[in-house]
Amino acid sequence: MESSNISRRNLIKSTLATGAGLALGLETASAQAPTTAKHNFSYCLNTSTIMKQNIGLMAELDVAAKAGYSGIEIWVRTLETYANNGGNLKDVRQKAKDLGITIEDAIGFASWIVDDPNLRAKALEQTK
């Protein structure tokens, strides 16, 4: 999927390049957009930063994509809430694909390091 939306990163680079060019008196600064550098990492939205809005998993994917992130770090409890309310995990995967973002990881705090074998087994199962 090719998107015509400009990423936040490229917008900032273009703005800085234009400002620097104008400060130096270059008339064509705005026409010289910076090139996108190749890198081996992605900029991800850790959804804890918007967790208090309680907008749900699918809306969090939308926010990450609209903000220009290439990936998202979701929270296990948000994923569980989505699934427990009848959400289909295949739909989550498809929506992320349609938006052009990657679900990089899922953050959670399972109680796997406890002294209770039953709680540990339950937490390890949750982690799987």
Q: Residue 74 forms beta bridges with which residues?
A: 106
| Among 101, 103, 104, 38, CA closest to 70 | 101
> Taking the model in full, what pTM does it have?
0.63
pLDDT tens per residue, range 86-118: 999 999 999 999 999 999 999 988 777 888 999
Residue 34, pLDDT > 60, answer no
**Confidence grade of residue 35 (pLDDT, cut at 50, 70, 90):** low
Contact 68, 36 (CB under 8 A): no
**Span 16-41, mean pLDDT?**
54
pLDDT tens per residue, range 38-81: 767 779 999 999 999 999 999 999 999 999 999 999 999 999 99
